Structure 1
Amino acid sequence: MTNKELQALKERYVAAGAASPNEQFADHATNAELWDADGKRMIDFAGGIGVLNIGHRHPKVVEAVKAQLDKVMHTCQTVMPYEGYVRVAEKLSGVVPVRGHAKVMLANSGAEALENAVKIARAATKRPNVICFDGGYHGRTFYTMAMNGKAAPYQTDFGPMPGTVFRAPYPVPYHGVDEDEAIRGLKMAMKADSPAHDTAAIIIEPVLGEGGFYAAPASFLKKIREICDEHGIIMICDEVQSGFGRTGKMFAIEHSGVEPDMMTMAKSMADGMPISAIVGTDKIMDSSGPNSLGGTYTGSPTACAAALAVMEVFETEDILGKSQRLGEKLNKRFAQWQEQFPHVDNVRNLGPMAAIELVTDKTSKEPRADFAGAVTKYAKEHGLILLSCGMHGNTIRFLMPVTIEEEVLEEGLTIVENALKELG
C-alpha cells in the first residue's frame, strides 16, 4: 500500500491520541536508513527515540530472534520459565553498576520498569513517596505520568494524577538553575512536601531525555547519593534513553562513578524488541512477596533472545568505542555550528547523546521552539528523520545509531546544517 492509502486507513481506524502526525509509513530499514511505503529513502537520526543504538535490524539480533521463533514464542515466565530470561538477568547483573550483588526483573517497556521500580522501593522501605525532577520523563502510565516533570502533552486530558509524587529542580545552568539551587530545591521538597521518613526513592535521569539532553553534573549525582545514604532513601537511575552505549559508556551513570541502588532500562536494550529491566541490589529486589511482580509478556523469549544478541554485539563489535568516536565528531561539528550560526547555542553532548539549542540570540537565550519545528520539518522534506525535545521545545536532539556509516552521518549532518543556513 502507498503512504496515501495507509494514511486514509490511519485516519479512519487509529485513535487520534495514538496516531503519528507523520504521513510516511516505514516499509523496510537497515542500520541508519529506512524506506517508506512509496520507496522514499530517509536517514534516521531518531532511532525510534533512542531504541536503535546498534541500528535497524542488526544481523545478529535478527538471527537470534529467528532462531528463537523456531523454539518457543511464549510460556509466561511465571508459569514456565526459560533460559533466556535467566541469562539476560545474569548478563545484566554483571554490567549494571548498582551497589552490591544485583538481581533483575524484566518487563516490557520503560514505563513498566519505572512503575515496578517504585513498587519495589516502597516494599523495601515501607514508605509511600517518590521525588523526581523538573524536566524528567518516565512514561505514560498513571504513576509515571505523575512522575514526569513536563505536563503537556503527557498529563493533558487525563485528570488528577497520583498524589505521592513530588518534584525538585534539575540543574540546568543555561536556564538559570545551578547545582546549588537544585540541591536546595531537593532539600526543600524533603522539608515541605516529602519528609525523608515518607520518601521511598529519589528517581533521576543522569541525562534528561525528553527534557532536553541535559547531563547532571557528577558532583550533583554524588550529592543525591549522599542524601539517599543519610536518610535510607533508595536512589533510582532511569537509564531508559541514556543506557546501552548512548553516552559512550554502557550506562550514563558510569561517567559519575556513582552507584545507585536500582536502575531502569529499556529502548536500545534489545534493538527494537519490547523489553525493559529493573536491576537493583539483591536485598532491595527481594523485598516484595512471591508472585508480586511480573506480567504475561514480561521478558518474552523473543525479546530476551534479542537482548542477549545486543549484549554480544557490544562485546564483539566495539560499540562503546564507536559511540565515543561518534560523540567526538558531533562535538566538533556542533562547536562549528555554534560559532557559525547566531541562533545556535548551548551545544552539548555526552558521547553521542547530543543536542543543540535554538534561540533568538545568545544574549537573551530566549528559546525558539518555532525554529526547532521548522528545522525538523525541513529535515523531513529533505530525507532526514530528526526530533526536537526539551521543556521549551527548542532543542534538537540527535539519536542516530552509533553504527551509522560515515557517509550517511555526513549526509544527515549536512541536511541539518543547510536547514540552519536557509531558515536562520
Structure 2
Amino acid sequence: MSSLVGHQIKQSDKVNNLIQELVGEVTKLNSQLTGIRGPQEEFKDAAKAKLDSTGLFRGRPLHYPYMGTGAGRGPYVELEDGSIKLDLINGIGIHLMGHSHPRVMAAAVRGSLADILTQGNLQPNNEYRLFTEKLVKLASKKSRLKHAWIATCGTMANENALKLSRQKNSPARMVIGFKDAFAGRSTMMAEVTDNPAYKQGLPEYHEVLRIPFFDKRDPKSGEKALSAFKEHVAKHEGNISVFGFEPMLGEGGYQAAPREFFVPILEFAKSKNIAVWADEVQTFTRTGEYFAFETLDLGQYIDLCTIAKTAQIGATLYTEEYNPKPGLIAGTFSGSSPSLSAGMEMLDMLGEGFLGPNGRINQIHKRFIDGLNKLNEGSCKGLASDAGGMGLMVAFTPHDGKKESVNTFLNKLFANGVIAFPCGKDPVRARFLIPAIIQDADIDVALKAIEKTLLEGV
C-alpha cells in the first residue's frame, strides 16, 4: 500500500461520488425552502423553549429570536419556528455564498474527512499550505504583501498585525486609528475600537490616537484628517508604531471614502516610518475585488493586511519588512480542515464572474442602492435616506436614525422576513451584508419587505 493514503482518499472516485450524492440529497431537501414564510403554529412553542434555553445558559437572550434548523437555500434560511427568512446579514459576514451552496458543502465535507478536524500552526495539513499560498498570490498582485499567517478569527488576525508592527517599530507602541473604528473583541482590540458601549468596565490604556474619517458633506474632510494625523505625530514623535484603518467603516456606519482621502494620510505615515495596516476583516471579497485596497488602488502603501469572515478563518498578511521574529505569533489553532477547504472553494468561486467593475458584486450593489433610493424618492419619501456602502456592504438610515427607532425598524423587518443589523451612531443605520449569490428577484423581495416595514412606522 502506498504511504500517501491521504492523497488516495482525496482522489478516490468512490469517496467523491459519495460526497456528491450526499450534497445532492441535501440540496434536494433544501429546494423546498422557497421565499419568505412566517412562523408555523406547530413549531412556535418548541422554538421558544430552545431560544429561552439558549438565553438562560449564555446569560442573556439572543439579539433576534433566531435559531436555525441547519437548513437553508441561497439567501434563505429556515428557523426552528418554521419561518423562512431572507438572510441579509449572513452571520455578520461569514456566509458569502449564502446557505447550503452545493460547492461549499462539498468542500466542507471533503475537509471533514481529513484525519484531523482542526489544524494548527505546529502541525498543519495541506489545506493550511494551500490556503496560505492562495492568499499571498491574491494579495501580492497589487501590493508588496509576501507572507500570511493563519489565525482563528478576525480579532486574532488583528492582534497579530499589531504585534508585528510593534515589534518592527519598537519601542514605538502607539496606534493611530479612525474615529468610530471597530477592530474586534479582545482587550486590545476593544481599545482600538471607538465605541464606549463595547468596553464598559475595561481599563483605558491610552495607546490609541484618533483622527476623523471621511465626511462627504465636508469638502475639507481630508485636510482635517491629515492635520489631526500630523498633530498626533508631532506630539508623539517616534512613539507611533502603526496606522490601522478599515477601508470602509464597518460597525462605524458603513461609511466609504474615495482614494483621494486616503493617499495623503498613507503617504505621510510612510514618510514617518509608521506601519500601514489595512483591516479588511469585513471588506475582504466584498468590494468588487478580493481586497478593498485593490478597489481603492492603495496596495503600494500597505505593510499589513488582516482578513477573516468570508475566508472562514482569520489571517494576517505582511511584507518582508514586517516578517516577525520566531515566537511572536503562534497559537495552537489555525483553522478547521472543513473551514480551510470551504474558504478556498469560495475564493475560487469569486473568480467566476463576481469581481471587476462589471462583475456580479457591483451589479448587486447598484440594484440594491438604486432600489433604496427609489423608495426614498417615492412611497417612503424621507424614510430611507443616505443609502451607500461598497459592493456587498450596503446601509441606509431608516426614519430619524435614532437608536430606538432604528432598532424598532430592524425588529419589525425581521418579523417581516428580512434579517439586517444596525451599525453606526448619530445616525444609527440599517446594514446589509448581502450574499454574493443573491438573485435580482431576491433583491426585489428584500426591497418590498423594507418598504412595508418603513411604512409601518415606529
TM-score if structure 2 supplies the norm length? 0.83
CA distance in 2, matches of 1:78, 1:55: 29
The question of 1:422 aligning with 2:456 is answered yes
Relative to structure 1, the CA distance from residue 101 to residue 139 in structure 2 (aligned partners, 3 Å threshold; closer, same or farther) is closer
Deviation of 1:369 after TM superposition, in Å, equals 2.7
Corresponding residue for residue 92 of structure 1: 135
* 1:203-249 deviation digits (Å, cap 9, x = unpaired): 000100010010122112111220121001110111111111x1222
What SS class does the counterpart of residue 321 from structure 2 fall into?
A: helix
CA distance in 1, matches of 2:98, 2:371: 22
Relative to structure 1, the CA distance from residue 176 to residue 70 in structure 2 (aligned partners, 3 Å threshold; closer, same or farther) is same
Which structure ranks higher in relative contact order (CA pairs < 8 Å, sequence separation ≥ 6)? 1
Corresponding residue for residue 305 of structure 2: 263
* 1:99-131 deviation digits (Å, cap 9, x = unpaired): 325100010111111111000111111121111
What SS class does the counterpart of residue 173 from structure 1 fall into?
A: coil
What SS class does the counterpart of residue 316 from structure 1 fall into?
A: coil
Which amino acid in 2 is paired with 1:352? L
1:232 is matched with which residue: 263, 268, 273? 273
1:411 is matched with which residue: 437, 445, 451? 445
- Name the stretch that deviates more: 319-328 or 206-215: 319-328
The question of 1:313 aligning with 2:354 is answered no
Please tell me whether the aligned partners of residues 370 and 394 of structure 1 are also in contact (alpha carbons under 8 angstroms): no
Please tell me whether the aligned partners of residues 218 and 255 of structure 1 are also in contact (alpha carbons under 8 angstroms): no
Corresponding residue for residue 114 of structure 2: 71
TM-score if structure 1 supplies the norm length? 0.90
What SS class does the counterpart of residue 325 from structure 2 fall into?
A: coil
Cα RMSD for the two superposed structures: 2.1
Corresponding residue for residue 352 of structure 1: 392
Corresponding residue for residue 301 of structure 1: 337
1:375 is matched with which residue: 409, 431, 449? 409
Gaps of 5+ in 1: 361-366
Relative to structure 1, the CA distance from residue 76 to residue 88 in structure 2 (aligned partners, 3 Å threshold; closer, same or farther) is closer
The question of 1:44 aligning with 2:80 is answered no
Gaps of 5+ in 2: 1-42
Please tell me whether the aligned partners of residues 136 and 147 of structure 1 are also in contact (alpha carbons under 8 angstroms): yes
2:289 is matched with which residue: 249, 261, 280? 249
- Counterparts of 1:23-422 in structure 2, within 5 Å, are 23-27=65-69, 28-74=71-117, 76-96=119-139, 99-126=143-170, 127-152=172-197, 154-157=198-201, 159-174=202-217, 178-192=221-235, 194-195=236-237, 197-244=238-285, 246-259=286-299, 260-270=302-312, 275-284=313-322, 286=323, 288-316=324-352, 318=354, 321-340=359-378, 341-358=381-398, 360=400, 367-392=401-426, 394-422=428-456
Corresponding residue for residue 364 of structure 1: none
What SS class does the counterpart of residue 29 from structure 1 fall into?
A: strand
CA distance in 1, matches of 2:145, 2:247: 22
Please tell me whether the aligned partners of residues 399 and 406 of structure 2 are also in contact (alpha carbons under 8 angstroms): no
CA distance in 1, matches of 2:50, 2:154: 28
Please tell me whether the aligned partners of residues 221 and 256 of structure 1 are also in contact (alpha carbons under 8 angstroms): no
Please tell me whether the aligned partners of residues 214 and 222 of structure 2 are also in contact (alpha carbons under 8 angstroms): yes
- Name the stretch that deviates more: 174-183 or 128-137: 174-183
CA distance in 2, matches of 1:22, 1:101: 39
Q: % of aligned pairs identical?
A: 23
Please tell me whether the aligned partners of residues 356 and 396 of structure 1 are also in contact (alpha carbons under 8 angstroms): yes
